Amino acid sequence: MTNFTSNTYQMKREILSFSNKISKNLPKSQRKFMADMNYGILASKDCFLTDIVDQLHEPSRKINIVDRLSRHLAKGTPKDALRTYLTKVKKWCPDQPVIHIDDSDVVKPDGYKFESLGWVRDGSESTATKNVYKKGYHVTEPTVLTSNSHPVSIFSEIHSSKEKDFTFINDVTFCAMDRAAALFKKATFVMDRGYDDNKMFLKLVQRCANNYTNHLPAFPIAQVKNPQRSPLRLRFLTCTLRKAFCVIDPVICRTMY
C-alpha cells in the first residue's frame, strides 16, 4: 500500500510538472485550469467535465467548478501554451518523423442541444458497401511519432459543416498539414485511402515538400477498378512525382479509384 501511494503521488507530480512547463507564461487562472484538466482527464480516464471535477476534490460546488472549466474551454488554446507544447513535441521527435493524418468523427445521434450539429459518416457502423450517416462532428487530429514510437497530437480541431464560417473540410486538413510542415522541415506523411485526391497530392508536393505514403483502395494497382477515372488519376500522380524532386520513394500501397 505504501508503494502504491508513493507511485500515485509521483505520477501526480509528473503530470503537474508537465502542465507547469506548458503554461509557465500564462496567468495564474489559466495555469490552474491546465493543471486541473491534465490531471482530471488522466485520473478519471474520461473527458466529461463532471468526471474530471470529481477527481479534483475541491471544496466548491460541483456546478461552479464545471462552469469555471467550461469558460476556460470556450476561450480556446492560448497561443503561448500551444507554442511551448509544440516546441517540446519537436524535441521528442526525430529530425524526419512520421506524421499520420486521418480524420475521424464524433457521433451524437441523440443530441438536440449541441451547437452546429451536422451529419457525419459513422465509421464504426459503415462498411465498404454501405455508408451510415448520423448527427455529429468531424475531428481532425494528426499525430507525430516520437523517437519512442509514441503518437503525439500536433493539431486538434472539431468542426461541422453547419458552422457559419465553414468553407470546406479540406481547409481544416490543409491547416493541419501547414502546421506539421512548419514544425518539421522534413517528414513523411501517412494517410488513409480517403486522401486519394488531387488537392491532397498538390498540397503535399508543392507546399509541404515532404514524402508521403497513401493507403489506397483494396485492389492491386494492375486491377483498375474504374477505368473512366483511374488512368487520369494515375497519369496525374506520375507526372507530379516526376516533376517533384522533393518526393523521395513514395509508397503506393493500393490502386487508385
Q: State pLDDT tens for residues 25-73.
A: 889 999 999 999 998 998 888 888 999 999 998 998 999 999 999 999 9
| Domain final position from 35, 54, 74 | 74
| Domain final position from 40, 74, 108 | 74
Looking at the whole model, is its pTM more than 0.85? no
Same domain, 157 and 32: no
Instruction: Name the domain count of the chain.
Output: 2
Same domain, 161 and 134: yes
Same domain, 59 and 152: no
In-domain check, residue 91: yes
| Domain final position from 43, 74, 105 | 74
Same domain, 43 and 140: no
In-domain check, residue 206: yes
Same domain, 30 and 117: no
Q: State pLDDT tens for residues 196-248.
A: 667 777 777 666 555 555 554 444 333 333 444 444 444 444 444 444 333 33
The residue behind cell 514524402 is 211
